[in-house]
Structure 1
């Protein structure tokens, strides 16, 4: 059996697979060579070997980029799994010394404020390291690309559970994995003296008052607005801010007439810091409430699934959330 395997693998080089994986992401030989720190000719030779081995063009040159063939699309997830497993096996010999290690995280800003306040100290403890270089940046429209290109280890954000949404998990790139941390249906937040509290809390009140909107990936509307549009209504968004916490802080102003919508999980933080706030359920049907449910997820590149460092980071984040829910 060993002789047969040797015969099958003769001439097969893992560097070919690594080149394939990076070309698939970069869509160019030059981009792949920069990522791997080798000459473009080396990448071209590995690509030529792949084409010969599989008797397939693998990537087709277009004026702007290399496009994977249908066979390459089928091959990609299997190669990613193989590379991830190989890296995991290579790291099993011993636990690395993490001192001096650089960790790059991308989080929606309210996570750091509300739930992940101890992320730095928790990582130091889990990695048994006195000195870590931890960089945390705010989630933005380019964050998925940063994870794909290895500029960030892990991202934490909210995705929409409605299958029609462009932000549904099924719409993520094929090389991005996600784990659901928890689910949340947002609530309405107003200050205790808001005139809305003197009225019957119903859909008419919800739609009548002006709203404070949130800018997420340069958009101020989300699946809630899609659902309202489908039944012939539209929110009056007259103020847009960067995140949920800012929206609630503004809504806490006694002179503020607008209402804010923010995750329900933020309520303990809000009531501890803004004592004059009231939380109300969004007055919509159960069907619509189900559609606007938000999935909070941790995102990472598929090739990092078995990477020890990445697993530790994800485990640390998951433990932080599980201890609160």
Structure 2
């Protein structure tokens, strides 16, 4: 099908090329061979009379014309999907549907198991794919790589609808044999201890919690251990004099597993975290996603 002499099938290829900025990865994304993707790029270059992607060192970068096309092309494809591709009805007991959710390891640990269990009984034909969030989760959502995103409230985008799922507080965790903290945990004890923290960056960056802590108290925690997951923090204080500040549900789960840890109320006031569900604005009327959101809210009330 053509519109103003443009083969509309090329819009899908254009979106993949502008997003991936790599011919091989773009081809994998839309299930085309590398030669076929290269051919699509050549046709797009001819239509727009622009190179669109140009080599810069070992990478490909977008031309100014390509930068200007990036958001409008994605917007067009999303509108097509939300108005034409979606089914006018959804019956969870019989329909098949694949849902992709962007989640953290905290969400996976405390929330996804009861949600998936609920979906298994109510919608046996539904598939659920959990994907790790990158440093820009809202961009993942906007690129249509996921149906929904679960993140703390402060990271949601004002461009898309969202709702609060549940609130979470924090606890401090130490080893039961910690020689320096027995009986009570004071603020001085907290500052004196080495800290175990989660760091998703892979680089020596100050985590978000530490940015808030430094701004609030004017001091830095002494970070001695970093880990790629929040759920691992309680176990990493065992056998040491270190401390971890973790979500309350994770601390309670670690106690249920029988870890030799002591859980303390923090000796400082830490803001409550509001875990939030967000979805793309063009998917707001998707009946299947409406149903999934309702199930998520029900499960959130129970955890």
The TM-score normalised by the length of structure 1 is: 0.64
1:246 pairs with one of 228, 232, 239: 232
Q: In the TM superposition, what is the alpha-carbon distance from 1:226 to its structure 2 partner?
A: 3.3
8 A contact 2:196–2:242 mirrored in 1:
yes
8 A contact 2:82–2:282 mirrored in 1:
no
Are 1:67 and 2:62 an aligned pair? yes
Over 3 Å counting, the alpha-carbon distance change for 1:111 and 1:235 in structure 2 is: same
8 A contact 2:148–2:277 mirrored in 1:
yes
Q: Distance in 1 between matches of 2:284 and 2:46?
A: 28
Over 3 Å counting, the alpha-carbon distance change for 1:12 and 1:320 in structure 2 is: farther
Q: Distance in 1 between matches of 2:127 and 2:115?
A: 13
Provide, for residues 270-314 of structure 1, a one-character-per-residue CA deviation record: whole Å limited to 9, x for no partner: 565559743313526xxxx45xx6554456778867666666555
Are 1:114 and 2:110 an aligned pair? yes
Are 1:86 and 2:86 an aligned pair? no
8 A contact 1:16–1:47 mirrored in 2:
no
Are 1:234 and 2:220 an aligned pair? yes
Which residues in structure 2 correspond to 1:1-325 (within 5 Å)?
11=5, 14-29=8-23, 31-38=25-32, 39-40=36-37, 41-49=39-47, 51=48, 57=50, 59=52, 61-63=54-56, 64-69=59-64, 72-90=66-84, 91-95=86-90, 98-99=95-96, 105=101, 107-126=103-122, 128-130=123-125, 134-136=128-130, 139=132, 156-157=150-151, 161=154, 168=155, 181-182=165-166, 184-190=168-174, 195-198=180-183, 201-202=186-187, 204-218=188-202, 221-228=206-213, 233-251=219-237, 256-266=240-250, 268-270=252-254, 272-273=256-257, 277-283=262-268, 289-290=270-271, 294=273, 296-298=275-277, 316-324=295-303
Q: Distance in 2 between matches of 1:129 and 1:198?
A: 50
Q: Distance in 2 between matches of 1:218 and 1:308?
A: 39
Counterpart position of 1:165: none
Over 3 Å counting, the alpha-carbon distance change for 1:42 and 1:191 in structure 2 is: closer
Count of paired positions: 287
8 A contact 1:188–1:261 mirrored in 2:
yes
Over 3 Å counting, the alpha-carbon distance change for 1:201 and 1:117 in structure 2 is: same
The TM-score normalised by the length of structure 2 is: 0.67
8 A contact 2:185–2:264 mirrored in 1:
no
